[in-house]
Every structure is written in structure tokens, then in C-alpha cells.
A and B are shown apart, each in its own frame.
Chain A
């Protein structure tokens, strides 16, 4: 298993390099350049110097390799440095303070620092939405399958259908209208400066209130997706021979369902969960836009609008790297949960 994980991780490096070529190449075709935002009074020679200093006149392959080194070597090292408090950069012959990093054109500061600042908001909303979605979906899906074609199943199927047919950008504004415009119960935007004090109830309550709408919207969507999947998975397992055996040897229905059927049905659900985490980042862009959460999705939109290429490249590459990572996690989990699958 460990060998399998290492092999998959090693194999993901060429994939990441290919993805970085696509991402970098695509954005390199962009017509905009950083000097276009500068005042017109700056003479052409100085513009040319600025372009030269930013490395814009190098051939494509050089710029790509430079960027690749920054993204895949310097930035991880810097992250480790700042987290652990040591200075690994010394080993690469550069100073900790002056180590090269990807610089955003917008803020003139390291792009990934902004990313780290905005990560918590995204993780909070997405994580809670996913968690609650699964917690709601699995029992309901199981019960639906157990009582197939009952009134509970039929209502569940209709609600599920509605849940994934009504997009987030329709239900979101309607929620805002209901809970923030008609009744001023919930705030319409997320206050990042709010520092959650775990000792104070009002502080926690404030955080709950500002998370409530985005998390509910995401939960509804996730619950619909996972509930449908859980139901199909349980239905499939209920027809298996081992269920008949379990019932035949006199186990109670509760034991048959909880010990045997649900456990086996969860295997594909967990895989879907790992696989859907990157797709949820797409949802983050929309959710953060609706509820004005300044997370990664909003950062991406902002950077696209400001023509901040280094930031956009970093973000898209991070999303892609997470996709690759969670694909591996899904495969590994599949093997852990299902002993019939062997990777040797």
C-alpha cells in the first residue's frame, strides 16, 4: 500500500508538469501585459526596461521553467520554512528573506501569501457544506433505499431532483432575499476581520450567523448529490447474496443494515466524496461571489478582472494540484475501505 502511494505520488509529478504547461501556456497567450496599467507619461524606453526586468522578453520555455521552479520548488520550501521556523532555503544557496517567490502584479507582494490569507474562509464554508451534506445525505439515502417506492422514498427523490436542478446562483439570491432583505436575520456578507473567540457565545453566534446561508446552500446541493448516490449504492447492495445470508442466520434488521449494508454502500460514497472536493472549488467561486466571502474563488475572479496573471496562474495551478491529490486520495481510500481491492 505504502509503495502504491509513493508510486502514485511520483507519477503525479509529470501530470502536474503537464498541467502547469497548459495553465502557463494558456495565460501566456493573454494580450495584456503589466505595463499596460501604468500611466501614459512613462516613456517607451522605461516600459521596455520594466518588461525586461520582469523577464517578459525571454523565450516561452525559459519563462515557463522559471515559473515552474518558483511554483514547485521555492514556494513549498518557503511554506515549510515559515511553518517550521527553520531555513531550508539556505541549502539552495539563497537567503531566507530574499528567496525568489511568485509576485502578484496587483499587490506587488508574494501571490501565495494572499492565497494563505484567504484559505480559511474557503475551507470553513466548503468544509462545513460538504460535512453537513454528507451527514444529512447518508441516513436519508439509506432509508430511502430500504423503503424503496414508499412515500418517504418518493418525496426524497423529488427533493433530491430539486436539490441538484436548482443551481446555487438561483437559490442563493432567494435566500438572501428571504433572510436578509425581508427579515434582517442574517448578514449578506462575510466579515473576515471577525476573530472567533471560543470563550464568548456572542462571538461564536456571529460566526454561525455569517456562515449559515452559504453553508446551507452548499449543504442542500451536496446532500442532493450524495443522497442520490447513497440511495443507488444501498439499493445495489441490498440485492447481494451476503444480505440474504445475514438475514438467514437470524441477524436483526438493524445489524444487517448497519453492520453489513451501510458499511459496504459507503465505499463508493467515500470515493465520490474525495473526487468531488476539487469540483466543489468551482462551487466556491459562485458561492463566494453570491455571499461576498473573500475566499479563494473571489480572489480568482478579482485577479482575472485585474489581469493579475501570476495570481491567476498560481490559483489555477493550486486547484489542479488539489484535483490530482484528491484523485490519489480517492484511489487509496478505495483500497483501504474495500479489502478485495489490492494494489500490489
Chain B
């Protein structure tokens, strides 16, 4: 969580924290951090989201090694086993690999794409938003660029870009790393616009505050003002956008992979597994339901966390659904 008071207060973090603790016992003073956490904890949906997301993430990380299935080599003798056929909870795929283990392995890549693409999108969005808001001469061109990106049909462009650049990038970076970097770059590069708009608006109003004027008057360079005073103060909406951005990134990656244009077959993601499962739906529907539940649970938990963060960080939005 960000500590919005730090820039304007002379207390160090440690002093502030111990002060908060002492003051909390007296019930007089709460820091923003504690206040947000208190609000967030009271939001039932958000806490449910945290638990669900922790379950999915730890399952994807720890599940495959714990179950001990060999998902690398085909085992044709056990191919196309039905669901609940012990020890295969969701059955096996056409090469005899355990479907549950593969769904969890696929989750690793989907989650990694989601988090990294979100980070790319937030970094680009904050940079463009801060520059557009802070430097007046950059405002118009950067906002026109944002408008242009907003009026591009994103999924078609994404599909086309993946197809066009897949081979060159894979040649340079290797098959798996190449497609990962490409997916992250395009998903991040096409989802930064809302963050940029929000950040620009916030920066425009913060720029008028007196502490910025004070900082300028003692000769602080613009770069330092941006990093020390502006960016920490726009973090609340950015955190909300980031949590919702993870859901968007995971869904976009899954959609592209589902359409057969994302990750290759040997590098499963939820979307790719769903694409494979679609054609075997009459054999075993759990090949669809398994990754489907994991994917939906992740998206739902991230959305719930985002809602909770918005309610906790934004005092005006607390009554809204």
C-alpha cells in the first residue's frame, strides 16, 4: 500500500509506524495504510477474493510437483481416460497426460502473463499519464495517441500482431521466451489507455497543490518532483486499475490462445487447454470444466479484490456496487 502522508510529513516511516501503533491503542489517530487495510478487511467479497486467489496461485505453483504426474512424456496406454478415474481427477488428454496437472501447469503461464502484462500496462499508462498531465506541451499529442488507441479494435489488432511478429521474435529469443515476451508486450501495449487517462486527471489536480509549488520554489527539478511527490499521490487509482488489469490481461491471453494464435501446444495455458478441450468435448467435458473453473476463479477473485480496493481507497465510491 502507498503511504500518501510520507511526502508531506517529516516523520520517517519507522517513526510513523510506531506512532500509529501507539495512537491506535488510544484510538485517536490512524494512518492511511491502516485505514485502507481496515476498510479492505471489512469487505467480505474482497477477502473472499484474496483467499480464492491465494488458493489458485499456490495450487498452480505447488500442485504439479506434489501430484507427481509426468506431464512431459506421452503415455498413450492411459490416453483419454474419463474424469474421476483415480488418480486422474479430470481424466487424461489424448496423450495420456493428467488433465488436472496440466491445468495447474497452464495456470502458471496464464498467471505469469497476467501479472507481467499488467505491470507493463501500468508502467506505460502511468508514464504517459504523468507526462501528459505534468508537461503541458505533451498533453495534446499524448492524449490524441490515447484516443487513437482507444478507437482501435483491439482483439483483431492483437491477433494480427501475434501472427505477424511471432516468428521473428521467436527466432531471436527462443520459442517459449519469444512468445511470452510478445504476448506480454502486446497485451500490455494495448491496455494502458484507461490508466493513462485516470493518472493524467489526477496529475492535473495535484499539480495545483501547494506542496508542488513549494517544491518548485526551492528549485527541485521536474523529474524529482514527479518521482517524489506526484507519482506517490496518484497511486490509489493506479492500484485499483492494476488489480482489474490482471483480469483483463489473463482474459485477453486466454482469448488469443483459445483462438489458436497464442502459445504453442507444448506450452499450455488455460486458453490453449480450452481450445484443445473444445474438440474433445463429447469425450470428456472435464477437460473444459477444469481449466474453466481455474480461469473463472482467478478472474473473479481479482475483480473482487479490485472492487474491495476501490471501496477502501476511494471514500466517495464506498456506497457503489
Contacts and interface: CB of A to CB of B under 8 A. Distances in A.
B307 to A, nearest CB: 9
Shortest 10 CB-CB contacts between residues of A and residues of B: A319-B153, A170-B292, A282-B155, A165-B300, A166-B296, A165-B299, A177-B285, A169-B258, A323-B151, A181-B282
Contact of A232 (B153, B156, B255, B320): B320
A235 B299 CA distance: 25
13 contacts: A26-B161, A26-B164, A27-B160, A167-B296, A169-B271, A170-B274, A170-B296, A173-B281, A173-B288, A174-B289, A235-B320, A300-B159, A304-B159
B218 interface: no
B162 to A, nearest CB: 9
A76 B291 CA distance: 45
Interface stretch (A15-23, A130-138, A254-262): A15-23
Interface residues of A, number: 52
Nearest to B153: A319
Contacts of B163: 304
A286 B255 contact: yes
Nearest to B283: A181
A172 to B, nearest CB: 8
Nearest to A290: B278
Nearest to A296: B156
Contact of B300 (A145, A162, A286): A162
B289 A320 contact: no
Interface in A196-255: 228, 231-232, 235-236, 239
Interface string B250-262: 0100110011010
A31 B164 contact: yes
Interface in A79-133: none
A29 B281 contact: no
Nearest to B147: A15
Interface residues of B, number: 45
B99 to A, nearest CB: 14
B160 A170 contact: no
Interface in B54-93: none
A278 interface: yes
A161 interface: yes
Contact of A173 (B159, B274, B320): B274
B299 A26 contact: no
Given A31-B167, A169-B255, A324-B151, A316 B157 contact: yes
Given A174-B292, A235-B320, A320-B153, 15 more contacts: A19-B148, A19-B152, A22-B148, A26-B157, A26-B160, A27-B164, A165-B300, A169-B271, A177-B285, A181-B281, A181-B282, A232-B320, A282-B255, A319-B156, A320-B151
Given A228-B321, A285-B259, A289-B259, A173 B155 contact: no
Contacts of B296: 162, 165-167, 170
A327 to B, nearest CB: 7
A170 B288 contact: yes
Contacts of B304: 161
Nearest to B148: A18
A173 B287 CA distance: 11
A189 interface: no
B154 interface: yes
Interface in A291-339: 300-301, 304, 312, 315-316, 319-320, 322-324, 327
A171 B288 CA distance: 9
B277 interface: yes
Given A26-B157, A167-B299, A176-B281, A15 B151 contact: yes
A235 B295 contact: no
B153 A316 contact: yes
A260 B156 CA distance: 41
Contacts of A177: 281-282, 285, 288
Contacts of B161: 26
Contacts of B315: none
Interface in B134-184: 147-148, 151-157, 159-161, 163-164, 167-168
B303 interface: yes
B300 A167 contact: no
A319 to B, nearest CB: 4
Given A26-B160, A26-B164, A27-B164, A170 B295 contact: yes
A157 B300 CA distance: 12
Contact of A285 (B148, B156, B254, B274): B156
Contact of A15 (B148, B153, B164, B261): B148
Interface string A279-291: 0011001100110
Contacts of A289: 258-259
Contacts of B321: 144-145, 157, 228, 231-232, 235
B18 interface: no
A323 B156 contact: no
B217 interface: no
B164 A323 contact: no
A30 interface: yes
Interface in B291-311: 291-292, 295-297, 299-300, 303-304
B285 A166 contact: no
Nearest to B275: A169
A282 B157 contact: no
